[in-house]
Structure 1
Amino acid sequence: MPDPLPVQQPRVGCGAVIQRADGAVLLVQRGRQPEQGYWGLPGGKVDWMEKVEDTVVREVQEETGLRVAVERLLCVVDHFEPALGQHWVAPVYLARTLDDAQAMPLEPEAILAVAWFHPDALPAPLTRSATEGLARLSSQG
């Protein structure tokens, strides 16, 4: 009997738009596929039986050292990577920092760099989630 085809299911990841009082947003440069080398939102894969909002808080702290609180959902991004055989569904949240800690890349294999950028001086290329999340933030004022 031939091997069954692999099960193709969407995966769930999430991201956080973290904005300072001066309007700058925190972005991370991705060290892994999909979108390796692109600048995106801190966040990551949702674990089994974990609330998405809890994933946002956990992933931001694991990746950058920042403690955050989720404020609201900005959008949900559908990200298709046919060449990698991946389909991601990614809720993007607005979050705020809870202290004055400095953001730093704490997962060097996954995050190449961490930096704050003003909306009129964003780096390129941006991930799909960052592009859509920042556009939604801008449109909501």
Structure 2
Amino acid sequence: MSALAKPGQDFPGLGVGLVIRRADGKVLVCRRLKAPEAGHWNIVGGKVDMMEQAEDAARREAEEETGLKIGKINFLCVIEGILEEEGQHWLSLIYVTDDFSGEPVLTEPEKHADLMWIDMNEPPAPLSVFSSQAFELLKSH
């Protein structure tokens, strides 16, 4: 494999996502500016770094992207996103938490256009593949 090979494009990438849920049931989403699914609303998350535990990556990405302090998280599911029109293929380990402190702030404006709390039953459009499947699973429990 080439040293310039890119995860998600040249081989399936490994990502994480974290559903951050408030006591009132609303969840935090961000509007992506970059592929995959640029322009879509998505839960926070990103790539797993080499030698990084996936759970640690989910916490790190959430804290970097929102400024929140994340406590205990729980594994929810694995979602495979094959986005043929974008030439992207990702496996994402999805986690959920109700344990966080602070107020979310848009800390990475180069990656996200906005952050907002939403009702999973009335999500904004377009909604990412990863968020859509995670929300359906959470609603069924």
| Alignment TM-score, normalising by the size of structure 2 | 0.88
Whether contact under 8 Å (2:21, 2:97) holds in the other structure is yes
**Shift of residue 25, structure 1, vs aligned partner:** 0.5
Deviations along 1:81-115, one digit per CA (max 9) or x if unpaired, are 2343321000111113332x110111111111000
Deviations along 1:102-140, one digit per CA (max 9) or x if unpaired, are 101111111110000122331111100100111111111
| 2:19 alignment partner, one of 17, 24, 43 | 17
What amino acid is the match of 1:136?
Answer: L
Whether 1:26 aligns to 2:33 is no
Aligned to 1:60: 62
Aligned to 1:87: 89
Aligned length, in residue pairs? 134
Aligned to 1:121: 122
Q: After the TM superposition, list the runs of 4 or more consecutive aligned residues in structure 1 that deviate by more than 6 angstroms.
A: none
Identify unmatched segments of 5+ residues in structure 2: none
Identify if the C-alpha distance between structure 1 residues 70 and 88 changes in structure 2 by more than 3 Å, giving closer, same or farther. farther
| Alignment TM-score, normalising by the size of structure 1 | 0.88
Identify unmatched segments of 5+ residues in structure 1: 1-5
What amino acid is the match of 2:122?
Answer: A
Whether contact under 8 Å (1:53, 1:70) holds in the other structure is no
Report the identity percentage.
37
**Shift of residue 70, structure 1, vs aligned partner:** 4.1
Aligned to 1:130: 131
Whether contact under 8 Å (1:26, 1:117) holds in the other structure is yes
CA-atom RMSD in angstroms: 1.6
Whether contact under 8 Å (1:28, 1:112) holds in the other structure is yes
Counterpart CA distance in 1 for 2:37 and 2:86 is 11
